[in-house]
Structure 1
Amino acid sequence: MSDTPADVSARDLVVAIDGPSGSGKSTVARRVAASLGLRYLDTGAMYRAVTWWALEQGVDLADTERVAELARELPLEQGLDPRTEAVRVAGTDVAAAIRTSRISAAVSAVATNLGVRAELVARQQAVAREGGVVVEGRDITTVVAPDAPVRVLLTADERVRLSRRALEVHGSDDDTAVDATRDQVIRRDADDSTVASFHEAADGVDVIDSSILSLDETVDAVLKLVEARSGVRA
């Protein structure tokens, strides 16, 4: 990738961020979007919303065709304000419900459903085409927004990622809490890696390893990269 910044306005800018579970991509992406005055799209919330919708209707997630059909019909309203999470399905506020362990344990079955992915990627691409947005998740730098002027793989070593997720879910990163989240993080990444690439950077994608960085330092690193690649400043 050239070191010469692209001539991009904030209104048109797309920042694509990929990363494994616990890499901090959601929090970092929200902070970056808020700093730049951009919208924020959490693509993971979309897969969680489909999962919630299917379970609420008693649909077997192994019924891939039916789940894909539900994804195509999904009456999803998702806010794009980085300062607040707003997710509604059929008029029901599910922002908290989709973050429960019930959904976390089941979402891989939906995220690896190719029919679901096709539908949700199309919705994600529609948002990206509008510009002025930070999009994070899996396959963002390679499938959803491969032409984005700023593409980042945010990563961290496994122990750090497990610790972060344990703190988020259990409020502690002691050995018991880490062990309790190990399956959710490691299995989810293993499952998702069968249909998405988010461990290795594709050509032209910048890597930021946050293993020894604080949240503020990681956000700052992404903002500096945005300026270097697009010319857009916080």
Structure 2
Amino acid sequence: MPEHPLTIAVDGPSGSGKSSVSKAVARELGLGYLDTGAMYRALTWWVLDEGIDPTDQAKVADASRSLPLEIATDPTGPVTVTVNGTDITEAIRETWISSQVSAVATNLDVRAELRRRQRELIDQLRADRGGVVAEGRDITTVVAPDAEHRILVTASEEARLARRSTELHGTAGAEQIEATRDQISRRDRDDATVSAFFEPAEGVVGLDTSDLSFEQVVQAVLDLVRGEVAPQTPEQSDPSKEDR
């Protein structure tokens, strides 16, 4: 456990590798791990299970405040997600959730409630485990702007599509990539209306992972946290250079 509590905030677009990398970094450093995206997916599952229209902002916001959510934060084990006693860890990654989650995640009242919960979990993990690696869309700028380390993980659209296609379909062939493209592009486009995760904000380190292996990205984040390498400047990691 670190001598002083440590929060590492990691943001990034879909397929940038932020979730798997953040979990590996948390495991290496002995910190807690918080997947904030899973919280939005869990609420989407809850809303649909309750028969609520995801576009009904008032009802969805009410549901967010009563969501009986439990999410595992130990990076050495599976990140299980349970709602009202039902394990929905696998269900929230299915296409029927992915196609609806943006309607929930762009609800500003929902974001306010889940950010409150996320901050509580971060504080709890700082106290209980000495720190946390929290990842999502607006962790570096809104949820934990005072984190000791703030990193925006980016990658070219080509690299992100290949990674997510392999994750979902087991391969990154042309057919699989096209089947994934709409899901990735639509989710990023919708979420970008309420949070910024393509360009690092002031004080946030940009890390372009397009040409890095998983192990290299994990090591790069660890090096940044340990101060062993010079961070990229926003100009060096400018996502506007991506082929979107």
TM-score range for the pair, normalised by the shorter chain length:
over 0.9
1:21 matches 2:14: yes
**Structure-1 residue corresponding to 2:182:** 183
Deviation at 1:9, TM superposition (A): 3.3
**Structure-2 residue corresponding to 1:31:** 24
**Structure-2 residue corresponding to 1:3:** none
1:63 matches 2:62: no
Higher relative contact order structure (alpha carbons within 8 Å, sequence separation ≥ 6) = 1
**Structure-1 residue corresponding to 2:238:** none
**Identity percentage over the alignment?**
55
Q: Cα gap change, 1:97/1:10 in structure 2, threshold over 3 Å: closer, same or farther? A: farther
Q: 1:94 aligns with which of 84, 88, 95?
A: 88
What is the root-mean-square deviation in Å for CA atoms of aligned residues?
Answer: 1.2
Deviation at 1:10, TM superposition (A): 5.6
Aligned residues: 222
Deviation at 1:228, TM superposition (A): 1.2
Structure 1 SS opposite 2:152 = strand
1:76 matches 2:57: no
1:125 matches 2:124: no
1:214 matches 2:213: yes
**Structure-1 residue corresponding to 2:36:** 43
Asked if the contact 1:10/1:38 (under 8 Å) is kept, the reply is no
Q: 1:128-151: CA deviations, max 9, x gaps? A: 223210000010000000011100
TM-score by length of 2: 0.89
Asked if the contact 1:14/1:149 (under 8 Å) is kept, the reply is yes
Could you list the runs of 4 or more consecutive aligned residues of structure 1 that deviate by over 6 angstroms after TM superposition?
none
Matches within 5 A, 1:135-154: 135-154=134-153
Whole-Å Cα distance in 2 between the matches of residues 10 and 175 of structure 1? Answer: 49
Whole-Å Cα distance in 1 between the matches of residues 141 and 56 of structure 2? Answer: 28
Residue type of the alignment partner of 2:179: A
Matches within 5 A, 1:190-209: 190-209=189-208
Whole-Å Cα distance in 2 between the matches of residues 12 and 126 of structure 1? Answer: 14
Whole-Å Cα distance in 2 between the matches of residues 58 and 34 of structure 1? Answer: 38
Structure 2 SS opposite 1:161 = helix
Whole-Å Cα distance in 2 between the matches of residues 126 and 197 of structure 1? Answer: 22
Whole-Å Cα distance in 2 between the matches of residues 147 and 228 of structure 1? Answer: 18
Whole-Å Cα distance in 2 between the matches of residues 148 and 19 of structure 1? Answer: 16
Q: 1:11-65: CA deviations, max 9, x gaps? A: 5100000000000000000000000000000000000000000001111111100
Structure 2 SS opposite 1:207 = strand
Unaligned runs of 5+ in 1: 1-7, 230-234
Q: 1:106-160: CA deviations, max 9, x gaps? A: 1000000111100000111112223210000010000000011100000000000
Asked if the contact 1:10/1:36 (under 8 Å) is kept, the reply is no
Q: Cα gap change, 1:10/1:199 in structure 2, threshold over 3 Å: closer, same or farther? A: farther
Whole-Å Cα distance in 2 between the matches of residues 104 and 157 of structure 1? Answer: 21
Of stretches 187-196 and 77-86 in structure 1, the one that deviates more from structure 2 is: 77-86
Q: 1:148-176: CA deviations, max 9, x gaps? A: 11000000000000010000001110111
Whole-Å Cα distance in 2 between the matches of residues 49 and 187 of structure 1? Answer: 19
Deviation at 1:82, TM superposition (A): 1.1
Unaligned runs of 5+ in 2: 229-244
Asked if the contact 1:160/1:211 (under 8 Å) is kept, the reply is yes
Whole-Å Cα distance in 2 between the matches of residues 65 and 115 of structure 1? Answer: 8
